[in-house]
Structure 1
């Protein structure tokens, strides 16, 4: 993987609650830019293969949710989870997980993931193109530190989960 220094500039298609909308679907589309999300902020980002998948749902997201306050106490403005899933799937997954602190950021077209160099073919699992599992600290749009799961270079058919976890991130932040 070619090491990049800055997060790629993309537009994320998100859905947000709009209290001015009455009815059963009080949400509207909102475009969020990389610059809006990362400029002038220190953000922890972790990316995973998919919402509702076993490791992502049982360990990856829940542990970041659990350690959220400790991570924020290390000078972090936000904690974000990116997945190559659409906004509707990410919303329902967040609801099902009870995720209230970690911001779930949909990368429905995989544009951010592709530009990060992390888009991999998981057709062997029936997933199609997905994100390789990684985490990073982004400081004012610049990648300060990145943890990439082993096996990326050869698109390992397994799903390693050794270095992108919340505990590894917290240990890095505590220095």
Structure 2
């Protein structure tokens, strides 16, 4: 299946993440991964899912995620309830990536798509060399009240999955 604008967001999607708390604010501190049930948490909300092939990779670190952090309040002012940065990295790496980016807001979530399961289901995974395996592609999705309002995949750069494109689509 390939997910498209206008589609109902798939049911049963679950990610893993480590919630930010002051107790685990230090980059060396590890929290406990918990499940993020998309249906339960976001069925009646507007959520931006920003997917990256890997935390701490050049494009993701320099060009893709920092603008979302910088413009988070603007996204919220346009009706976004949460931003989920998604990758196939483990939840500990994603948590560290959020900390390095200075994110402390509980509605800005750095989550993992274990084994890129959701991304594969939605036709949004990429197969990299064996050292990296199957990853989430670089994409952005706006889900509002359970319906995909916007989806864009970028093979190179962040033109369609970057914050400016997302803001223009809201």
- TM-score (structure 1 length as normaliser): 0.81
Q: 1:95 to 1:25 in 2, by over 3 A?
A: closer
Structure 1: where are the runs of 5+ without partners? 152-158
Which of 93, 97, 103 lines up with 1:89 in the alignment? 93
Q: How does 1:17-166 map to 2 (within 5 A)?
A: 27-101=31-105, 102-123=108-129, 126-149=131-154, 151=155, 159-166=156-163
Quote the Cα distance in structure 1 between the aligned partners of 2:81 and 2:144: 10
Task: Report which structure shows greater RCO (CA 8 Å, sep ≥6).
Answer: 2
Q: Is the 8 A contact 2:20 2:104 kept in 1?
A: no
User: 2: distance between equivalents of 1:130 and 1:123?
Assistant: 10
User: What SS is found at the alignment partner of 1:80?
Assistant: strand
**8 Å contact 2:142–2:151 — kept in the other structure?**
yes
Query: How far off is 1:89 after superposition?
Result: 0.6
Alpha-carbon distance in structure 2 between the residues aligned to 1:165 and 1:19? 29
Q: Which has the larger radius of gyration?
A: 1
SS in 1 for 2:32: strand
Give the one of 2, 5, 8 matched to 1:6. 8
Contact 2:2-2:121 at 8 Å conserved across structures? no
Contiguous gaps of at least 5 residues in structure 2: none
RMSD (Å) for aligned C-alpha atoms = 2.5
Q: How many residues align?
A: 162
Give CA-to-partner distance per residue, 1:64-117, whole Å, 9 cap, x none. 001111111111111111111111110111122223343111113211111121
Structure 1 stretch displaced more, 76-85 or 11-20? 11-20
Q: Distance in 1 between matches of 2:125 and 2:22?
A: 36
